[in-house]
Amino acid sequence: MLKRTPVRLAATFTALFALTVVALFAIVFFGITARLSEQIRTRTQETMESLLAIDHQKGFDDLTAAVSGEGISVRDADFIIELLDDTGRHVAGNVSGIKPSASWISLERDDIETDWENGEPDDRFEAIWRPVSKGQLLVGSSNRELRRTQTFLLEVLGIGLVATTLLGAVCGAFLAARTQHRIDAFAKTLSAVSEGKIDARVPMSGSGDDIDHVGAQVNRTLAHLQTLIENVNQSSSDIAHDLKKPVGRLRQRLDVARRSAHTTADFRVAVEDALGDLDGMMETFDALLRITQIEAGARRIRFASIDLGSVLDDVADVYTAVAEDAGYQLAWPDGRWKPAVIKGDRELLVQLFANLIENAIRHCPSGTRIALALQDDPDGFRAEVSDDGPGIPEHEREKVFRRLYRLERARSTPGSGLGLTLVAAIAELHDARVALEDQAPGLRVAIKFPSPATS
């Protein structure tokens, strides 16, 4: 149990809370002690001043009578007084045998000779000597009130400390058990993932606390991991399926060249055809590697503040002429009224929009109008590439982002089926969301970028 972090934290906080209570009590305890000690001396000093006034105004005999009266009063259990004459002989009072001193003295009950039996053995007296007309006068007060207050405070501390420790231990155990339960949920989820259950997720409590926040991050990581694993599995299948045909065609050409070519020219033609097939396969593998690198997030270190409008300006400058030469029209409105700044990789963003334009040119008939647009979104900015071509059937829109997936009508056109996969990877790297929408007619690809404040 002591190795569990929540238990150690609960014990630590309980101890810290108990120490805080002790520290606060110590401040109160010593503060009250000092205050009561001051009051004892003040009361003693006031009595002394009253008796000195009698000596000054009425003389030593009246002072002797007053001291005698005080000595036999009902306060004699917590009040001491003694009057000495010029020779040091005891004249009056309820104590004797105390050596005169020029400053305050503290007297234990056993240190003085008394004429009374009441009082408490632990009594301590704060006393002071002062000269009078024909001798010296001692006045002192007991600290009994101070001791009783201290005893009461210590009892309160003991009860409060026990209650505080028990309450802290109970609350700490409850919180530790609750936290440990949630930590165990993390461990159980990660254990399930390690056993191959990649769809396992950390349960959320719904409180929105820091553990929920960490759980949400873990779940996002697991979801991303699941997507990567599924993509790898799908890619393996797609690569085996899509490359089987060009590899078979390459083998057939080489076999025909081996059996039928008789001249250098025949071999050259066969080799050039084989090299073309190999170049196509290498292009596919290069695209797959590039997508893998982007999905791994390695390019994030190159992120900087970029204006999406400036990126679209550059893409439009390059592809307006390309589209016109191919018989298409590319529209991009000028006069944007404010910048759309995000954090990103300019090169990858240019490639994203270039891929979408090339995809429209490749799969739309000649004369199709392709349009670029940029506008504000509630949480950032929305960039669009739209066309009025044949579009993509709704049931196929999620599939086209898979590696090497191609629509049936597009299998006869050039391409590897990785263009939209690369678009999705670049968008995900920038925390953007890609949506394929119906243009009626045509297709509209919307990419929603978060603003730097929310990303």
End residue of a domain, out of 256, 272, 288: 272
CA nearest to 430, candidates 418, 447, 412: 447
CA nearest to 203, candidates 185, 224, 217, 191: 185
Q: Which long-range contacts (CB under 8 A, 24 or more apart) does 69-74 make?
A: 70/94, 71/115
Do 127 and 222 fall within a single domain?
A: no
- Residue 389: CB atoms within 10 A of its CB come to 20
Check which CATH number belongs to the domain holding 399 and give it. Answer: 3.30.565.10
Do 33 and 109 fall within a single domain?
A: yes
End residue of a domain, out of 147, 178, 200: 147
Q: Specify the pLDDT at position 410.
A: 46
Do 443 and 305 fall within a single domain?
A: yes
AA identity, residue 226 = Q
For residue 366, being part of any structural domain is answered with yes
d(CA 387, CA 329): 10
For residue 283, being part of any structural domain is answered with no
Domain that holds residue 105: 5-147
Q: Specify the pLDDT at position 110.
A: 73
Cα angle: 110, vertex 113, 118; to 5 degrees: 75
Check which CATH number belongs to the domain holding 30 and give it. Answer: 3.30.450
The single residue listed with the structure tokens 């919307």 is: 446
Do 105 and 248 fall within a single domain?
A: no
For residue 308, being part of any structural domain is answered with yes
For residue 315, being part of any structural domain is answered with yes
Q: Give the HSE-up count for residue 103: Cα atoms under 13 Å, Cβ half-sphere.
A: 0
Do 308 and 416 fall within a single domain?
A: yes
Do 262 and 307 fall within a single domain?
A: no
Q: Specify the pLDDT at position 106.
A: 87
Residue 200's region, left for phi above 0, alpha for psi from -120 to 50, else beta, is beta
Give CA separation, 84 vs 44, 46, 50, 135, 337, in Å: 18, 20, 17, 5, 104
Residue 401's region, left for phi above 0, alpha for psi from -120 to 50, else beta, is alpha
For residue 245, being part of any structural domain is answered with yes
- 333: preceding bond cis by omega (within 30 degrees): no
AA identity, residue 292 = T
Q: Specify the pLDDT at position 411.
A: 46
For residue 263, being part of any structural domain is answered with yes
Do 254 and 343 fall within a single domain?
A: no
Do 350 and 235 fall within a single domain?
A: no
Do 309 and 446 fall within a single domain?
A: yes
For residue 362, being part of any structural domain is answered with yes
Strand partners, 329: 369
Do 33 and 137 fall within a single domain?
A: yes
Q: Specify the pLDDT at position 386.
A: 92
For residue 201, being part of any structural domain is answered with no
Per-residue pLDDT tens, the chain, 455 aa: give them.
556 666 777 778 778 888 888 888 889 889 988 998 888 899 899 989 999 999 999 999 999 999 888 877 655 567 888 899 988 898 988 888 888 888 998 888 777 776 666 666 677 888 999 999 999 999 988 888 888 888 888 888 888 888 888 887 787 777 777 777 878 888 888 888 888 888 888 888 887 777 788 888 888 888 878 877 776 666 666 666 666 667 777 777 777 777 777 788 877 887 887 787 777 777 666 666 677 767 666 677 788 899 998 999 999 999 999 999 889 999 988 656 678 889 888 988 999 999 899 988 988 888 899 999 998 888 889 999 999 888 888 877 777 777 666 554 444 455 556 778 888 888 888 889 999 988 888 899 999 998 876 55
Residues contacting residue 340 through CB under 8 Å, at least 6 positions apart: 307, 308, 309, 374, 376, 381, 449
Strand partners, 450: 380
Tally the domains of the chain: 3
Do 249 and 325 fall within a single domain?
A: no
End residue of a domain, out of 147, 162, 181: 147
Do 398 and 434 fall within a single domain?
A: yes
Strand partners, 380: 377, 450
Q: Specify the pLDDT at position 353.
A: 93
- Residue 2: CB atoms within 10 A of its CB come to 6
- Residue 186: CB atoms within 10 A of its CB come to 15
